Amino acid sequence: MSADTNGQPRIGVYVCHCGTNIAATVDVEAVAEYAAGLPGVTVSKTYKYMCSDPGQELIKEDILANQLDRVIVAACSPSLHEATFRRATAAGGINPYYFHMVSIRELDSWVHTDIVEATAKAKDLIRAAIHRVRFHKPLERARVNVNPAVMVVGGGIAGIHAALTLANAGKKVYLVEREPSIGGHMAQFDKTFPTLDCAACILTPKMTEVGQHPNITLWTMAEVDKVDGYVGNYQVTVRHKPRFIIEEACVGCMECIEVCVFRRGKTPDEFNLGLNMRKPVYIPFPQAVPQVVVIDQDACIEFRTGRCKKTCVEVCAERNAIDFTQTETFDTVEVGAIVVATGFKTFDPRRTPSYGYGVYPNVYTAMEIERLVNASGPTEGHVTLRDGRTPETVGIVHCVGSRDVNTNEHCSRVCCMYSLKLAHLVKEKTGAEIYNFYIDIRAPGKGMEEFYNRVAEEGVHFIRGKVADVYPEAGNTGRVVLQAEDTLLGRVRKIPVDMVVLATGLEAQADADEVRRTFNITCGGGGFFMERHPKLAPVSTFTDGIFLAGCCQGPKDIPDTVAQAGAAAAEALALVDKGFVEMEPNTAYVVTEECSGCKTCIPLCPYTAISRVDGKAYINPVLCKGCGTCVAACPSGSIRQNLFEDEEIYEEILGVLANA
Amino acid sequence: MPDKPKVAFYWCASCGGCEEAVVDLAEKILDVVAAVDIVFWPVALDFKKSDVEAMEDGSILASFVNGAIRTTEQEEMALLLRRKSKVLVAFGSCAHLGGIPALANLWDREAIFDTAYRTTASTVNPEGTLPQVSLAHNGDRVHLPGFYNTVRALDQVTEVDYYIPGCAPTPNIIAGAVETLLGGDLPPAGTVLTPDIALCEDCPRLDTKPQELTIERFRRPHEVIADEGTCLLAQGLLCMGPATRSGCGHLCINGNMPCTGCFGPTSKVRDQGAKYLSAIASMLGFEDEAAIDRALDGIPDPVGTFYRYGLAGSLLRRRKMTPVDA
């Protein structure tokens, strides 16, 4: 018995009907009557909805009227209303951690049908709580100051939007992007569905704003190496890869590219998916932000032989922006919150060989077509085959790497609509006959169905069937035949086309698992990062202060990405703008004089909260999440945990078994 | 001159080592003898049970009882000494937590009798005679102590005031405990009269224990010549030090042998074996189950390792074979 109960505690027990959720399966009156007879119980009542204002008021009044010093509510579950009843307990003037919740809905009425059994179980569970609460101690929530800066990881449209939102709210933002320019996939798109806005036209102003924003520190060619700390006080170490260009000195004149000893590029241009070649010194794309060139170490003669004429250095002259000696550098910054917006990768269609990608030259991915139809792309917007001809027939294969148990089970959400967009654009530019091979057309969202109708009316063909095979047409025509079972006609169609477009799906980034570990967040199916709650906390993660935006959380289109990025920014803002966080007191602590310093606990902490101070273990209460790993492992029992003290747990077990 | 305080010693299911430990006090025993009257000590002095029965209740200052409780006779003597003593001290691992004899709780009476009186290679018992509590002998009725199914620690039979742990208790622990008891400033009832901290705290090898210790293979003492300067756990030897009370002066470690846990857990641990299993599990450097199983194969006798001295007093108490009839 804890000291301040003066012997017998004064417990209030409240049994909630939850309408009929509980009361239909548990005889709540009998339960309350039973509890009233147990030692230490001063008040025992039922109420229709304990979580309602009158229900909470009941607790408060009883504490005052009956000098209750412990409160037990048997109702739904702690995740739903523990906080509610703790507040009600505190409103009555006693420490909120003298409250304990018993779940007789999720753990009882919802999972049983027999009233007698369910009622007996409710009694057992409440008896366990009555045993336990005697040992509850008053606990305080600690307040920790929050660093107002925010880091945004990933410079696609999600990261850009989140960074601008935060920066415009006056917060310091570090935007970290691993490529030489921000912009992400969106920068590669030609038009956007369903409005057919020019992607660059709407994106590049935002990119420029990022580059010029006084509150944004933009780090490209940079990756997060390590995250230490905790909500409100993260220390993030960023690794800067060498660009071999002094960013501050480069003015983006691109004269170095002109005079490079390579007359023509010999390296596949990443931005155009290798459809053209670039030089070793290059700028990723004309609107790149920052407008700074980059040197490709693997392609540059100076790096390969050390004997280049270095015409680039000559032409750069007094600006002297080229620095072949650059090496990796590191920066560590303090931030209060982090928005992870690391994006996606497109499915590699080589994994489904039956589509012939990489085998037949005129089988393309949708991303390649985006670049072909783009006026600043490798063909200046002319949709041509690899031999220069203009296609007369084009087949678009939907769901490549999506909705397929052999690759990805998920629907990538954007492929139907971008396929329609590409169908429209290619038809517009070439007049070709276009065949869409689809499973279902998924066109939810504003303006999507209308766009589908529009493209259908433009004369694009739709064949409902999954392409089973792609093979060359007989007679060396250069065309390939798409074979599919048309499930509407109920027969196999074989359609020869000049060009095949594979609508590849969206996948988690190849290094998503590493990133997940760095930020201590979790992955769901397919490697996409897990939100804390799919409906009610869609941009939060299980790690406080780390938020998600964009396709790293799951496939989504640009409007949804921007909306989510805004939400992530708002959540981060709500955290850092408040200035402090309150920590749950369910933390582990070391009883220093009992600790033998055996070090067992130190490597076990998933939050690196434990260190060795003066030969003893020390748990930083701010870092501790209360997982209990160290508590279980401490071989001398010197680590305890608030709300999970051994006495509390043993008593709970004894209580639940007392009638067994 | 007022009477000197009276003390008694008694042994139950034990090996005799605890008695040796008292004698091991060497010249210090003279101080003890000078300070107290030993009124009962079957191993050394010729007092009878009837002498104890004749004493007034509570007239003995302290009775030191070693050994676990396995028979009706031991139980009877424990209860008698409890009644006659102000303070009852559980002396040594067996009285404290059950000790080695309590490993018998992995079997039951029938199985133990079967092994001891029938099946061992050295047994010659053509009639199959088993211990009995009552039998006719030369025309008389002979009564013998009954053999319980379950071995118990002393405090599972009667109330115990203090504990002196160890297999056997070391001289400095005994001397300290006696001094405490005679000093009059008694610690709270239930105290184990040793420091309440694990052995690592004063282990001379602690600094060599790596901060991130992962064990890939367990070794038994006979399988390896351990480095004398390095943490034994770091060498794969299952040292119970992290889960065992200190106070022994790390004698085993000094002898380059791992701690086997005879001082029992600290006061905050209810089950030394379970606690240490939990700690050891966290040190295994594997993710896949097969590798973990292979590593655990290096602990062929987990109960005899983790519960060597504490099975009776643990949450497990015994293997459930028959109803626990005590």
B195-238 pLDDT, tens digit each: 999 999 999 999 999 988 888 889 999 999 999 999 999 999 99
Span B266-276, pLDDT tens digits: 999 999 999 99
Cis bond before residue A194 (omega within 30° of 0): yes
Tokens coding A589: 């602590």
**CA–CA gap between residue A272 and residue A418 (Å, rounded):** 18
Q: Which B-chain residues 209-238 have CB contacts (< 8 A) with chain A?
A: 209-214
What pLDDT, on a 0 to 100 scale, did the predictor assign at position A345? 97
Residue B69's H or E segment, with its range, is strand B69-71
* Nearest CA-CA partner of B212 in B295, B275, B283: B283
**Option in A591, A600, A650 nearest B242 (CB):** A600
Tokens 């009425």 belong to A109
Residue B1 has pLDDT above 50, yes or no: no
Cβ–Cβ under 8 Å, residues B201 and B223:
no
Cβ–Cβ under 8 Å, residues A552 and A522:
no
Residue B35 sits at the chain A interface (C-beta within 8 Å)? no
Cis bond before residue B168 (omega within 30° of 0): yes
Q: Which residues pair with A71 in a beta bridge?
A: A12, A99
What pLDDT, on a 0 to 100 scale, did the predictor assign at position A2? 42
Q: What is the mean pLDDT of residues B276-296?
A: 88
Cβ neighbors of A281 (< 8 A, separation 6 or more) are A256, A257, A260, A293, A294, A295, A296, A300, A312
Span B147-160, pLDDT tens digits: 999 999 999 999 99
Nearest CA in chain B to A599: B211
Amino acid type, A418 = Y
What pLDDT, on a 0 to 100 scale, did the predictor assign at position A3? 41
**Option in A595, A603, A640 nearest B211 (CB):** A603
**CA–CA gap between residue A590 and residue A588 (Å, rounded):** 7
> Is A598–B211 a contact, with Cβ atoms under 8 angstroms apart?
no
Greatest distance between any 2 Cα atoms in chain B: 73
What pLDDT, on a 0 to 100 scale, did the predictor assign at position B109? 92
Tokens 């449209």 belong to A157
> Is A595–B282 a contact, with Cβ atoms under 8 angstroms apart?
no
Residues in A lying within 8 Å of B, measured between beta carbons: 591, 593-600, 602-604, 612, 629, 632-638, 640, 646, 650
What pLDDT, on a 0 to 100 scale, did the predictor assign at position A116? 97
Question: How close B285 comes to chain A (CA, Å)?
Answer: 12
Kindly give the pairing relationship between strand A546-548 and strand A337-340: parallel
**Option in B200, B268, B281 nearest A598 (CB):** B200
> Is B266–A638 a contact, with Cβ atoms under 8 angstroms apart?
yes
**CA–CA gap between residue B120 and residue B126 (Å, rounded):** 13
Cβ–Cβ under 8 Å, residues B64 and B33:
no
Q: Which fold has domain A344-507?
A: FAD/NAD(P)-binding domain (3.50.50)
> Is A636–B278 a contact, with Cβ atoms under 8 angstroms apart?
no
What pLDDT, on a 0 to 100 scale, did the predictor assign at position A400? 97
Tokens coding B77: 């003597």
Domain boundaries, chain A: 3-139, 143-241+328-342+510-581, 255-319, 344-507, 584-642
> Is B268–A600 a contact, with Cβ atoms under 8 angstroms apart?
no
Kindly give the pairing relationship between strand A610-613 and strand A11-16: unpaired
Cα–Cα separations (whole angstroms), residue A263 to A259, A277, A279, A280, A380: 8, 11, 8, 11, 20
Amino acid type, A263 = R
What pLDDT, on a 0 to 100 scale, did the predictor assign at position B30? 82
> Is A636–B246 a contact, with Cβ atoms under 8 angstroms apart?
no
What pLDDT, on a 0 to 100 scale, did the predictor assign at position B56? 96
Number of Cβ within 10 Å of residue A520's Cβ equals 16
What pLDDT, on a 0 to 100 scale, did the predictor assign at position B26? 78
Q: What is the mean pLDDT of each run of 10 residues along chain A (660 residues)?
A: 61 97 97 96 97 96 96 94 96 97 97 97 97 96 94 98 98 98 97 95 97 98 94 95 96 94 94 95 95 96 94 94 96 98 97 96 97 94 94 97 95 97 97 96 96 96 96 93 96 97 97 95 91 92 94 97 98 96 92 95 90 94 90 96 95 91
**Option in B209, B267, B275 nearest A635 (CB):** B275
> Is B211–A602 a contact, with Cβ atoms under 8 angstroms apart?
yes
> Is A629–B213 a contact, with Cβ atoms under 8 angstroms apart?
no
Residue B37's H or E segment, with its range, is strand B37-40
Cβ–Cβ under 8 Å, residues A583 and A144:
yes
Residue B247 sits at the chain A interface (C-beta within 8 Å)? no
**Option in B199, B212, B269 nearest A596 (CB):** B199
**CA–CA gap between residue B199 and residue B250 (Å, rounded):** 7
* Predicted confidence band of residue B122 (pLDDT cuts 50, 70, 90): very high
How much is the CA Rg of chain A, to the nearest whole Å?
Answer: 31
Q: Which residues pair with B164 in a beta bridge?
A: B91
What pLDDT, on a 0 to 100 scale, did the predictor assign at position A7? 66
Nearest CA in chain A to B273: A635
| Chain B residues near residue A650 by CB distance under 8 angstroms | 270
CATH of A3-139, one of 3.40.50, 3.40.1130, 1.25.40, 3.30.1240: 3.40.50
> Is A597–B241 a contact, with Cβ atoms under 8 angstroms apart?
no
Compute the residue count for chain A: 660
Q: In A538-560, which positions are buried (b, 16+ CB within 10 angstroms) versus exposed (e)?
A: bbbbebbbbbbbbbbbbbbbbeb
What pLDDT, on a 0 to 100 scale, did the predictor assign at position A4? 46
**Option in A594, A633, A636 nearest B282 (CB):** A633
Mean pLDDT of chain B: 92
Span A228-278, pLDDT tens digits: 888 999 999 999 999 999 999 999 999 999 999 999 999 999 999 999 999
What pLDDT, on a 0 to 100 scale, did the predictor assign at position A6? 54
**CA–CA gap between residue A572 and residue A18 (Å, rounded):** 35
Domain boundaries, chain B: 6-100+149-192, 112-147, 199-306
Nearest CA in chain A to B211: A599
Report the percentage of chain B scoring pLDDT > 70: 98
Burial label for A627, CB within 10 Å (0-12, 13-18, 19+), is middle
CA A620 from centroid of its chain's CA atoms: 27
What pLDDT, on a 0 to 100 scale, did the predictor assign at position B35? 86
The residue of B263, B266, B276 whose CB has the most chain A CBs within 10 angstroms, and thus the best one to mutate to test that interface, is B266
ipTM of the complex: 0.90
* Nearest CA-CA partner of B242 in B215, B216, B273: B273
> Is B283–A600 a contact, with Cβ atoms under 8 angstroms apart?
yes
Tell me the CA end-to-end span of chain A in Å, nearest whole number: 24
Q: What is the mean pLDDT of residues B79-89?
A: 97
Nearest CA in chain A to B315: A650
**CA–CA gap between residue A507 and residue A365 (Å, rounded):** 15
Nearest CA in chain B to A597: B201
| Chain A residues near residue B208 by CB distance under 8 angstroms | none
Residue B269 sits at the chain A interface (C-beta within 8 Å)? yes
> Is B268–A593 a contact, with Cβ atoms under 8 angstroms apart?
no
Cβ neighbors of A95 (< 8 A, separation 6 or more) are A89, A138, A139
* Nearest CA-CA partner of A207 in A281, A286, A322: A286
Dump the DSSP string for A319-368.
G--B-TT---EEEEEEESEEEE---EEE--GGGSGGG-BTTBTTEEEHHH
Cβ–Cβ under 8 Å, residues A394 and A401:
no
Class of domain A143-241+328-342+510-581: alpha beta
Class of domain B6-100+149-192: alpha beta
The residue of B239, B244, B275, B277 whose CB has the most chain A CBs within 10 angstroms, and thus the best one to mutate to test that interface, is B275
**CA–CA gap between residue A72 and residue A122 (Å, rounded):** 13
| Chain A residues near residue B270 by CB distance under 8 angstroms | 646, 650
What pLDDT, on a 0 to 100 scale, did the predictor assign at position A1? 38
Q: Which residues pair with A191 in a beta bridge?
A: A198
* Predicted confidence band of residue B179 (pLDDT cuts 50, 70, 90): confident
Alpha helices in chain B (DSSP H): 17-23, 28-35, 49-54, 72-84, 92-97, 109-114, 171-183, 251-254, 272-281, 289-296, 302-306
Q: Which fold has domain A584-642?
A: Alpha-Beta Plaits (3.30.70)
**CA–CA gap between residue A360 and residue A269 (Å, rounded):** 21
Mean pLDDT of chain A: 95
* Predicted confidence band of residue B313 (pLDDT cuts 50, 70, 90): very high
Alpha helices in A45-193 (DSSP H): 53-66, 78-91, 115-133, 157-168
> Is B213–A638 a contact, with Cβ atoms under 8 angstroms apart?
no
**Option in A594, A600, A602 nearest B268 (CB):** A594
> Is A596–B201 a contact, with Cβ atoms under 8 angstroms apart?
yes
